[in-house]
Chains A and B, each alone.
Chain A
Amino acid sequence: MQVRDYVLRRLISLPLLIIGTSIVVFGLTRVGGSPIGIYLSHEMTPDEVTEIEERFHLDEALPVQYFYWISGVVQGDLGWSGVAAAPVVEVFPDKLAATMELAVTAGVVAVVLGLALGTFAGARRNRMPDHITRVVSISGASMPLFWFAILLLIVFWVYLGWFPIGRSDPDVWASIAHPTGLYTVDAILAGSFDAFRDAIWHLVLPAIALGYGATAIIARMLRSSLVEELQEDYVDSARAKGLPERLVLRRHARRNALIPTVTVIGLTFGFLLQGTVVAEIIFRWPGLGRWMADSVLRGDQATIMTYVMFTSILFLLVNLVVDVVYAYLDPRVELGT
């Protein structure tokens, strides 16, 4: 099957999946009852209530309501966020920027570190580096993010006071414009070193907290697949050619070991996304995650729906990209179902 066909197929199934997800999400929120609560206030007369119900089609049958909701979403009407006391669409971009800045930083760090560790360990199987990596990866896989984050806070914020919490220092924040909402980028655009330093400063702890788990997962995966590849015949035949071990490892073993790792990296992205919820709560990071958490506690359905839909779509897209990369990486891959 051609890579092109494969991509095509995935693209076809993508909208179906999204629709499926949207139905799940909608059905889910409606299980909790009508979202009318957000619009109500105590001094409303029954007529006003029914009026609101009609305005938001809450009196219709569920499928109809779904239809209204979905068409609204398509037209960019994501509903009213009780938590932010504003339409979801208006609040969304800034929060998204905040979350992405965090998640992407953590992701990049995780991938770089993870791959390094994995190669290091896989190439020196059952020797010190391997054991170290094993400890890192297993502890990383079982580390409760909320606890690790708090430990970091206790040590580096409370006691050492090296790193701040929150996303930026108010004065510094006020000092420059924020066209993109990504503070590091904004700082660079504004050419302000202080702002940049401040942005990075605030990023360090949450990024570490968030990236640790992902690093562990990636390292573990690459390590094990590298160990497997190193036992393959073609590695021996590469050695038999007289290639130095460096080339045997890089050009032959690792190259093939990376292929399965790529998939894992894609999944790690979901891991990061959900991690932001906790990380943002603890580090007072004004992003989607924290917003979601508040909305969950306050039953702010519009936000919940938007957030879940958005993350899952993002997740789907990332994995699509990953699979395509995979397909290109592996010439022998036979892309079945």
Chain B
Amino acid sequence: MTLTNTGPDTHEVRPPGAIASVVDLKVHFQSKRGVVHAVDGVSFDILDGETLGLVGETGCGKSVTARSFLRLVPMPPGIAVGGAIHFRRRRPCQHCGGDGCELCDGLGRLPEECSQCGGPGCEHCDGSGIDNVDLLSISESLMNEIRGDRIAMIFQDPGKALNPGLTIREQIAEVLYEHRSEEIMERAGFDPEASNVTGTLVRRRATQRDRRPERILMSVPPFRSRRARLTRATDEMVAEALTETQIANPLKVMRRHPHELSGGMKQRVMIAQALACNPDLLIADEPTTALDVTVQARILELVKSLQERHQAAVLYISHDLSVVSQVSDRVAVMYAGRIAEVGTREQIFSEPLHPYTQGLLAAIPSGSHERGRLTAIEGTVPELIDPPPSCRFVGRCPYEAEQCRSADPILASFEPGHQVACFIHSPEPDSSLDQPSFARKTK
């Protein structure tokens, strides 16, 4: 990942940088029966503007990985054991203003300069000169700046992930107030900098920092009209966000409560809410699992088109390989808290290397299989309580060998862009649990 001599001033076409790199992430859970190694040394990169599919079966730790990005794993019972998630914030490309040019590699955004050195490169940004924060260690306030603005998330069950008590408008307005208050105020024709009473009141409301007395004050003339202007501006923006997701008649939907909408509609609202601030990275955690096929198809279509338009990177988590095969550019296969294999879609689906990946692909039923001849992966997913230093796939693997039981394969590069953690492909075992990060490898 050669980002060293990258800066807004150079016009050389930049190779796609990783917007986020997960490095040896370890998240465990305290349970009655011991420590569950839910995520146990996971490393991967998400490249600019790509869709990375993260597949795996129930309990493989994919959701935990995803939630770790926004620090949404409840602690306790969760335990952040180690690792880092490097996130490189972006800003609109000042050269093309977001439409995409060769400077920003058609992405419309450029990396922020390093907060320490501001470009030349220092040890803080290990010489790359670009902004780089570790999502696991930054302050809560900085985290809140990133949440919903730079990184947004779509949850599995839109029915549960939307607050049943608030209208759609209220819920989308929230995220705008939180991150786009200036824009709202400008639209409403207020000066965001204004320091007089009205200005302060308006600003505090637009950033939803207003307390009850202020709210009361805002509800009486002359402030009333100002509040109305603010509300109107917000409504506009909410409506726009909804229109983005092809919701007909957004003005009607805005006033609804979640339970009045169909599942597909709810998921659209979730997406609208997630993309309202045009994030650099969108995390989609099984966004279509709760939906019917026909609805799912439309949501997938929507996500894809929006992603192409916004040029945001997407981390698409799913248990369904066929879905992943439709949306993602690259795919990472997870098993029992580890990454089993990473590669481009073609690599994973046409020449899978890891026995587990092969097994998964073979297990999907279709007309072509002879009935009763599905190649199932025997056995069940191992319990992740204090797992022994061996390949996690031991016991279910058809090619199991001695060293698989004694040592732990590491994720090693097999061909360009294709890593696999299996001794068949990387002979010499490395018993240390600590995997060299795939991010470091590409630097």
CA distance in complex: A237, B162 (Å)? 7
Q: Given A242-B149, A332-B259: A234 and B161 within 8 A (CB)?
A: yes
On chain A, the number of residues with a Cβ less than 8 Å from chain B's Cβ atoms is 23
CA distance in complex: A255, B165 (Å)? 8
Establish whether residues A234 and B208, one from each chain, have CB atoms under 8 Å apart when the complex forms. no
A252 at the interface (CB under 8 A from B): yes
Cβ contacts B66-78/A at 8 Å (1 or 0 each): 0100101010000
**Residues of B close to A247: CB separation below 8 A:** 174, 208
A238 at the interface (CB under 8 A from B): yes
A240 at the interface (CB under 8 A from B): yes
CA distance in complex: A233, B162 (Å)? 8
Establish whether residues B72 and A239, one from each chain, have CB atoms under 8 Å apart when the complex forms. yes
B298 to chain A, nearest CB (A): 21
CA distance in complex: A269, B261 (Å)? 37
**Residues of A close to B163: CB separation below 8 A:** 234, 238, 252, 256
Interface of A is mostly: helix
Q: Given A240-B148, A240-B152, A331-B257: A256 and B162 within 8 A (CB)?
A: no
CA distance in complex: A234, B161 (Å)? 4
**Residues of B close to A243: CB separation below 8 A:** 144, 148, 174, 178
Establish whether residues A236 and B148, one from each chain, have CB atoms under 8 Å apart when the complex forms. no
CA distance in complex: A241, B175 (Å)? 6
**Residues of A close to B175: CB separation below 8 A:** 241-242
Q: Please name the residue on chain B nearest to A252 by beta carbon.
A: B163
Q: Please name the residue on chain A nearest to B164 by beta carbon.
A: A332
CA distance in complex: A251, B74 (Å)? 20
Establish whether residues A238 and B174, one from each chain, have CB atoms under 8 Å apart when the complex forms. yes
B145 at the interface (CB under 8 A from A): yes
Q: Please name the residue on chain A nearest to B146 by beta carbon.
A: A242
B155 at the interface (CB under 8 A from A): yes
A116 to chain B, nearest CB (A): 15
**Residues of B close to A330: CB separation below 8 A:** 164-165
CA distance in complex: A238, B72 (Å)? 10
A244 at the interface (CB under 8 A from B): yes
A232 at the interface (CB under 8 A from B): yes
Q: Given A242-B144, A331-B257: A233 and B160 within 8 A (CB)?
A: yes
A-B contact count (CB 8 A): 78
Establish whether residues B161 and A237, one from each chain, have CB atoms under 8 Å apart when the complex forms. yes
CA distance in complex: A52, B64 (Å)? 83
Q: Given A236-B72, A240-B148: A332 and B257 within 8 A (CB)?
A: yes
B254-308 contacts to A, CB under 8 A, are 257-259, 270, 273
Establish whether residues A240 and B147, one from each chain, have CB atoms under 8 Å apart when the complex forms. yes
B57 at the interface (CB under 8 A from A): no
**Residues of A close to B273: CB separation below 8 A:** 241
Establish whether residues B165 and A240, one from each chain, have CB atoms under 8 Å apart when the complex forms. no
Establish whether residues B155 and A236, one from each chain, have CB atoms under 8 Å apart when the complex forms. yes
B166 at the interface (CB under 8 A from A): yes
Establish whether residues A237 and B155, one from each chain, have CB atoms under 8 Å apart when the complex forms. yes
Determine which of A236, A242, A255 lies in contact with B178 in the assembled complex, contact meaning CB atoms within 8 Å: A242
Determine which of A234, A240, A242 lies in contact with B164 in the assembled complex, contact meaning CB atoms within 8 Å: A234
Cβ contacts A221-256/B at 8 Å (1 or 0 each): 000000000011110111111111001000110011
B166 to chain A, nearest CB (A): 7
Q: Please name the residue on chain B nearest to A244 by beta carbon.
A: B144
Q: Please name the residue on chain B nearest to A253 by beta carbon.
A: B163
Establish whether residues A233 and B161, one from each chain, have CB atoms under 8 Å apart when the complex forms. yes
**Residues of B close to A256: CB separation below 8 A:** 163-165
Cβ contacts A316-337/B at 8 Å (1 or 0 each): 0000000000000111100000
Q: Please name the residue on chain B nearest to A235 by beta carbon.
A: B163
A256-301 contacts to B, CB under 8 A, are 256, 259
Establish whether residues B144 and A240, one from each chain, have CB atoms under 8 Å apart when the complex forms. no
**Residues of B close to A244: CB separation below 8 A:** 144
CA distance in complex: A66, B44 (Å)? 82
Establish whether residues B147 and A234, one from each chain, have CB atoms under 8 Å apart when the complex forms. no
**Residues of B close to A234: CB separation below 8 A:** 160-164
**Residues of B close to A237: CB separation below 8 A:** 153, 155, 161-162, 270
Establish whether residues A240 and B153, one from each chain, have CB atoms under 8 Å apart when the complex forms. yes
CA distance in complex: A231, B155 (Å)? 14
**Residues of B close to A236: CB separation below 8 A:** 67, 72, 155, 161
Determine which of B67, B147, B166, B257 lies in contact with A242 in the assembled complex, contact meaning CB atoms within 8 Å: B147
CA distance in complex: A122, B48 (Å)? 41
B157 at the interface (CB under 8 A from A): yes
**Residues of A close to B259: CB separation below 8 A:** 331-332
B179 at the interface (CB under 8 A from A): yes
CA distance in complex: A234, B257 (Å)? 14
**Residues of A close to B208: CB separation below 8 A:** 247
Establish whether residues A242 and B148, one from each chain, have CB atoms under 8 Å apart when the complex forms. yes
CA distance in complex: A242, B274 (Å)? 11
A228 to chain B, nearest CB (A): 13
B30-48 contacts to A, CB under 8 A, are none
**Residues of A close to B162: CB separation below 8 A:** 234, 237
CA distance in complex: A238, B146 (Å)? 13
Q: Please name the residue on chain B nearest to A230 by beta carbon.
A: B74
Determine which of A232, A240, A251, A255 lies in contact with B160 in the assembled complex, contact meaning CB atoms within 8 Å: A232
A182-238 contacts to B, CB under 8 A, are 231-234, 236-238
B153-188 contacts to A, CB under 8 A, are 153, 155, 157, 160-166, 174-175, 178-179
**Residues of A close to B160: CB separation below 8 A:** 232-234
Cβ contacts B2-15/A at 8 Å (1 or 0 each): 00000000000000
**Residues of A close to B157: CB separation below 8 A:** 233
List 18 A-B pairs, Cβ < 8 Å: A233-B155, A237-B153, A237-B162, A238-B163, A240-B72, A240-B148, A240-B152, A241-B148, A242-B145, A242-B148, A242-B178, A243-B178, A244-B144, A247-B174, A252-B165, A329-B165, A330-B165, A332-B257
Q: Which 9 A-B pairs have the closest CB atoms?
A: A242-B147, A241-B148, A242-B148, A233-B160, A332-B259, A241-B175, A234-B163, A331-B257, A237-B161
Which residues does A use to contact B, with CB under 8 Å? Answer: 231-234, 236-244, 247, 251-252, 255-256, 259, 329-332
Known: A239-B147, A242-B179. 5 other contacts (CB 8 A): A240-B153, A241-B178, A247-B208, A259-B165, A330-B165
Which residues does B use to contact A, with CB under 8 Å? Answer: 67, 70, 72, 74, 143-149, 152-153, 155, 157, 160-166, 174-175, 178-179, 208, 257-259, 270, 273
